Structure 1
Amino acid sequence: MTGAKLRLPLRALLAVLAGALMISGCSSPPTNPQAKPADPVAKVSFEPGAGAQRVNPAAPISASVQRGEFDSIELRNSDGDSVEGKLAADGQSWKATEALGYGKSYSWSGRATGDDGKQVEVRGEFRTVNPDKTNHATINPRDDAVVGVAMPISIKFDEPVEDRAAVQRALRVRSSTPVEGSWAWLNDEQVDYRPKDYWPANTHVAVEADLYGLDLGGGSYGQADLTTDFDIGRAQIVKADVRTHQMAVVRDGKQVASYAASYGKEDDPGRNTPNGTYMIMAKHPVEIMDNPEYHYRNVRKTWAARFSNHGEFIHENQDNIAALGKVNNTHGCINLSAADAKAYFDSALIGDPVEVVGSASEMEPRYDVYDWLLDWDQWKAKSAL
Structure 2
Amino acid sequence: MDEMTTDLGARRRRGKPVPRREPVGKGGRKSGKMLAVLALCAAVGAGGIGIATAPGRADAEMPSEAASPMRNVAGLAAPVVKAVELGVTPTDGAKAVNPAAPASVKAVNGTVKDVVLERASGGGRVPGTTSPDGSTWTAGDPLEFDTKYKYSFTIVDQAGRQTKKAQTFATVAKANEADAAVYPLNGTTVGAGQPIEIVFSEPVLNKEAMEKAVTVTASSGQAVAWRWYSDRRVRIRPEAFWASNSEITVDLKLFGVDFGNKMIGNSDTKASFKVGPQRLAIVDDITKTMNVYFDGQLVKTAPVTLGDAEWLSPTGFAVIMEQERNSKFNAGSIGLKPGDKGYYPPLTVEYANRLTSSGVYVHQALESAWGAVGKYNVSHGCVGLLPADAAWFFNNMKTGDVVQTLNTGAPAVEPLEGFGDWNIPWAQYAKR
Query: TM-score band, normalised by the shorter chain?
Result: 0.7 to 0.9
Conserved 8 A contact 1:152-1:194: yes
- Counterpart in the other structure of 1:314: 362
- Counterpart in the other structure of 2:374: 325
Q: Which moved more, 1:67-76 or 1:151-160?
A: 67-76
Deviation at residue 82 of structure 1 after TM alignment: 2.2
- Counterpart in the other structure of 1:140: 183
Deviation at residue 350 of structure 1 after TM alignment: 1.6
Deviation at residue 307 of structure 1 after TM alignment: 1.2
- Counterpart in the other structure of 2:313: 273
- Counterpart in the other structure of 2:103: 61
Q: Equivalents in 1 of 2:377, 2:220: separation in Å?
A: 40
- Counterpart in the other structure of 2:430: 380
Kindly tell me the number of residue pairs found equivalent between the two proteins: 351
- Counterpart in the other structure of 1:361: 410
- Counterpart in the other structure of 1:257: 300
Conserved 8 A contact 1:262-1:335: yes
- Counterpart in the other structure of 1:175: 218
- Counterpart in the other structure of 2:330: 290
- Counterpart in the other structure of 1:351: 400
Render the CA deviation track for 1:174-219: whole Å, top value 9, x for unaligned.
1112222111112332111111111111221111223333322234
Amino acid in the other structure paired with 1:127:
A
- Counterpart in the other structure of 2:32: none
Q: Which moved more, 1:300-309 or 1:151-160?
A: 151-160
Matched, 1:105 2:148: yes
Matched, 1:222 2:265: yes
TM-score by length of 2: 0.71
Conserved 8 A contact 2:203-2:260: no
Q: Report SS of the residue matched to 2:229.
A: strand
Change in Cα spacing, 1:285 to 1:74, as seen in structure 2 (3 Å) is: farther
Q: C-alpha root-mean-square deviation of aligned residues, in Å?
A: 3.2
Q: Which moved more, 1:61-70 or 1:340-349?
A: 61-70
Deviation at residue 121 of structure 1 after TM alignment: 4.3
Deviation at residue 374 of structure 1 after TM alignment: 1.4
Partner of residue 152 from structure 1, selected from 177, 195, 198: 195
Conserved 8 A contact 1:42-1:120: no
- Which structure has greater strand proportion? 1
Percent of residue pairs bearing the same amino acid type: 26
Q: Equivalents in 2 of 1:128, 1:91: separation in Å?
A: 30
Change in Cα spacing, 1:83 to 1:355, as seen in structure 2 (3 Å) is: farther
TM-score by length of 1: 0.79
Conserved 8 A contact 2:190-2:398: yes
Q: Equivalents in 1 of 2:160, 2:364: separation in Å?
A: 84
Q: Report SS of the residue matched to 2:404.
A: strand
Q: Equivalents in 1 of 2:399, 2:205: separation in Å?
A: 31
Q: Equivalents in 2 of 1:50, 1:207: separation in Å?
A: 38
Amino acid in the other structure paired with 2:313:
T
User: Which residues of structure 1 form unaligned runs of 5+?
Assistant: 1-26
